Amino acid sequence: MSYETVIGLETHVQLSTASKIFCSDAAAFGGAPNTHISTISLAHPGTLPRLNKKAVEYAVKLGLALGCDINRRTHFDRKNYFYADLPKGFQTTQDRAPVCLGGSLTLKVGSTGQRSNPVIRIHHIHLEEDAGKSMHDQAPKHSMIDLNRAGVPLLEIVSEPDLRGPEEVAAYMEEIRRLVRWLGISDGNMEEGSMRCDVNISVRPMGSSTFGNRCEIKNMNSMRFAKRAIEYEVNRQIALIESGGTVEQETRGFDVAQGTTFSLREKENAHDYRYFPEPDLPPVVISEEYLTDIKTAMPPLPAILEQAFQTAYGLSAYDAEQLAQERDTALFAQQLLETAAVRYKGKDLSKTIANLLINKLLPWSAAGNIRPSDCPVPPVHWIDYAQMIESGQLSASAAAQRLFPAMLETPDKAPTLLATELNLLQSADSDFLEQLVDEVLARFPDKVAEYRKGKKGLLGMFMGEVMKASKGKAEPQTTTRILQEKLG
């Protein structure tokens, strides 16, 4: 029998606010243990929380980007449990009235996927606080607790069980990461734990319309591990069913060294936590005006720009994806493409501009860790640079590689001027090229005869001679055309 994998994700995203969700302690990652703490993070008796309004704003932003309904009256609840890294004895989270309800995310999955562009429904998104961190490897006989993370704001994005395999999980996580970075609400850094997910997995016979029992694998903070964990868990569940057993609903961990999942505890239910409304925080009322302000300030969304790069500017899906990876680059690319269309009307420089950004700007930006829009080369110079390439004045040859470094060094100078000074321009001037071709053909009458008898491979040799005579300035396409005309 063949089985279908069913997955739902609970993704935790750490918000990049300056302070924690209910007090003014720093929310920054790292710091010496127990330095980002106050009596509130430590849950001293009598202290009261106060909501960080940036956290609400960030939740609303993500909700709008994912097409969720924004709950106009949202409140916090207590989730009660005992653990050493949770000094309050409860986590302040949202149960009954989360900030965002519904919404969806369309995945870009490649041709190897079973389904193309599946739409993954979002169940809801809620705000909550993170717990502290227990460290078991710092002292031989003791566990240590760092409460710096206690109270750091998190968004939990809960998907419907709409994902069908590790490839879709990876695409979903990548899309969420791009979106939170794009909106500037989180650094989406999985290595530092600012993005992690609990993976709920079940399997069912192909074609079945009911779900199987699920297991939840906790705290995956690497895409590579998540993929391995899913593959292992799917095989485990199938083997269990095939051997006549049943999958018990439970919470499991992933053992990185063994590549296996193991049981942590039986699945707890909502009533185990005795959720109840947080009495120390008033409900949050979201006004129409507040929503409008956030909507107005929203940047264009990545999926929309990526689409526009293809439809409005004819870029390939690959190029569009490269340019829309990150907001700063995408907005800069959009500005260049728009300006170029006006500056060189009737000429399509889009592909050349995309190439320059992908091959020159992005590597430069990554190497120096500088935002693309902080590149000293002004937009109009990028466009003229593209125009020189497109019109054949500037070759893609080794010599021309000197132009970009020169542009970075003297960003005020027009690239045409720089190329002239550096002697990088090539000629597509027919009179000049015809004269060179005539000279070369006159020097090799034997080869010309051979060519005419059918030895077409000699074209390359003639090209080489014309290049030499022009000192590398002959524009190859025009030269080839003239050579073929004269030889033919």
Nearest-angstrom CA–CA distance, 463 and 478 = 11
3-state secondary structure of 197: strand
Q: Report the site for ligand ADP in 128-157 (rule: CB under 6 A).
A: none
DSSP alpha helices (H): ranges in 375-453? 379-390, 403-409, 415-421, 430-443, 445-452
8 binds ligand ADP (CB under 6 A): yes
102 binds ligand ADP (CB under 6 A): no
Region near ligand ADP per CB under 6 A, out of 2-10, 186-194, 298-306, 424-432 = 2-10
Q: Report the site for ligand ADP in 52-91 (rule: CB under 6 A).
A: none
How many CB atoms are located within 10 Å of the residue 450 CB?
14
Nearest-angstrom CA–CA distance, 401 and 423 = 12
How many CB atoms are located within 10 Å of the residue 108 CB?
15
Q: Which is nearer to ligand ADP, 156 or 319 (CB)?
A: 156
237 binds ligand ADP (CB under 6 A): no
Q: Which is nearer to ligand ADP, 114 or 143 (CB)?
A: 114
Distances (CA, A) of 456 to 444, 450, 459: 15, 8, 6
Query: Which residue among 16, 148, 200, 479 contacts ligand ADP (CB under 6 A)?
Result: 200
Site size toward ligand ADP, by CB under 6 A? 14
126 binds ligand ADP (CB under 6 A): no
161 binds ligand ADP (CB under 6 A): yes
Region near ligand ADP per CB under 6 A, out of 1-9, 110-118, 300-308, 416-424 = 1-9
Nearest-angstrom CA–CA distance, 387 and 349 = 7
Query: Which residue among 71, 202, 352, 470 contacts ligand ADP (CB under 6 A)?
Result: 202
Burial 258-285 (b: 16+ CB within 10 A, else e): eeebeeeeebeeeeebebeebeebeebe
Q: Which is nearer to ligand ADP, 61 or 214 (CB)?
A: 214
230 binds ligand ADP (CB under 6 A): no
6 binds ligand ADP (CB under 6 A): yes
Q: Which is nearer to ligand ADP, 9 or 15 (CB)?
A: 9
How many CB atoms are located within 10 Å of the residue 121 CB?
13
211 binds ligand ADP (CB under 6 A): yes
Smallest distance from ligand ADP to CB 58, Å:
21
Question: Could you tell me the sign of the dihedral formed by the alpha carbons of 158, 159, 161, 166, in that order?
Answer: negative
How many CB atoms are located within 10 Å of the residue 237 CB?
24
9 binds ligand ADP (CB under 6 A): yes
Q: Which residues bind ligand ADP (CB under 6 A)?
A: 6-10, 158-161, 200-202, 211, 214
